[in-house]
Structure 1
């Protein structure tokens, strides 16, 4: 299979960008440097906050900046585009229409993974922007799963874990995660989607468990295969 060059629109957030780069390297079947995925990564922290725009708290549309970065990557030689930000996928249709690159659908791939893993009643954890747009709920229901979202209090804890901990450069607070997990267990969820790449960082720090489906991991694995490489067995 012809190998393709991967472009990653990063900076949303910066730490998750570094994490997916490492994931791709570690998950690729390779015996030498030349066997790895050819990646071009931007780490643009100036992309406007996606949730703030969705909630009407900002008039700064992130889509034009995302598309500008996509063009930078295309000019540099990228053929496949990965965006390690779930909330940005609320604008997936606009992004897909605005670039000539093949864009990986992180939301759809993660929902498909959950279905393959046998999920029936699945918790959705993400930014308030992602929850409000319903992208994960729609994708999961398409596979016959029942999507469960946190109530207002638990969602505030999720947002604190994302913004006050990871995005602020602080260690993930295990007590916050314990509160979130207890709520998802009480709601009868058999699986939980980590639908924010900052939660993927939390997963790396706290080892959250097999019931969690990590969207960043799914994106990394999908990118490896789409670029013509083999996942490490």
Structure 2
């Protein structure tokens, strides 16, 4: 297979399924051959990212991701992507394993925010406890000169319930809960734009999009970037040249 990329997924599986579905449905096609070539690594055994970030005595998820990246690197994909925000905690270590370009989901999403909403100085952030605890998105947002609003103490329990109790444990999206989170961030904390800092939240957006709030969905953004890059590469552009503009 020529001109393909590798998806390091399985964190969690339903969120990865959502990403792949989005990837396939956003490609403009007239025939089977118009779809993109990719290899999906759905490594469902990757240890919980939040558990390790908050407590280093827990299993280190980098070990599993390291094995996945090294295996895929032997196949020489055009680039890597990883549709899990929290797993970007070890992005820098993963990049060191290979010369294959590796998209950074979080940085791409943050730059999309400042491009689409240049007048907004603040963005609301909802994410896993791990991402919040280690300031993964917060650091990226502050790097581009914007402020982060996390909301009050009532926000994180609702977000955790939606991600873990609903989606990860039961495989369902509580649309009312998702909308309540967005409404609270907007009405109570003045967030005109809310960033969905977890792919389970991207799944919630896919399944329950009927709301009036502005969201930045990194999963959609990553899918669109992957499509753009792979079509350019398929047309003859060098992979490293194509991806350069997204290596912030």
TM-score after normalising by structure 2: 0.85
Once residues 24 and 94 of structure 1 are traced to their aligned partners in structure 2, the CA distance between those partners, rounded to angstroms, is 26
Q: CA deviation at 1:9?
A: 0.8
1:126 paired with 2:127, answer yes
CA 1:209 to 1:88, structure 2 compared with 1: closer, same or farther past 3 Å? farther
Which segment drifts farther, 202-211 or 119-128? 202-211
CA 1:210 to 1:74, structure 2 compared with 1: closer, same or farther past 3 Å? farther
Matched with 1:79 is: 78
Q: CA deviation at 1:144?
A: 2.4
Q: CA deviation at 1:210?
A: 5.2
Once residues 14 and 91 of structure 1 are traced to their aligned partners in structure 2, the CA distance between those partners, rounded to angstroms, is 19
Once residues 18 and 232 of structure 2 are traced to their aligned partners in structure 1, the CA distance between those partners, rounded to angstroms, is 19
Once residues 162 and 219 of structure 2 are traced to their aligned partners in structure 1, the CA distance between those partners, rounded to angstroms, is 17
Once residues 230 and 213 of structure 2 are traced to their aligned partners in structure 1, the CA distance between those partners, rounded to angstroms, is 27
2:200 to 198, 201, 212: 198
Once residues 189 and 112 of structure 2 are traced to their aligned partners in structure 1, the CA distance between those partners, rounded to angstroms, is 21
1:228 paired with 2:231, answer yes
Unaligned runs of 5+ in 1: none
Q: CA deviation at 1:135?
A: 1.9
Q: CA deviation at 1:120?
A: 2.5
Q: CA RMSD in A?
A: 1.9
TM-score after normalising by structure 1: 0.91
Contact 2:5 2:78 survives alignment (8 Å): yes
Once residues 39 and 131 of structure 1 are traced to their aligned partners in structure 2, the CA distance between those partners, rounded to angstroms, is 31
Once residues 112 and 15 of structure 2 are traced to their aligned partners in structure 1, the CA distance between those partners, rounded to angstroms, is 20
Q: Which runs of 4+ in 1 moved over 3 A?
A: none
Once residues 78 and 130 of structure 2 are traced to their aligned partners in structure 1, the CA distance between those partners, rounded to angstroms, is 28
Unaligned runs of 5+ in 2: 234-248
Higher relative contact order (CA 8 A, sep 6+): 1
Once residues 7 and 19 of structure 1 are traced to their aligned partners in structure 2, the CA distance between those partners, rounded to angstroms, is 16
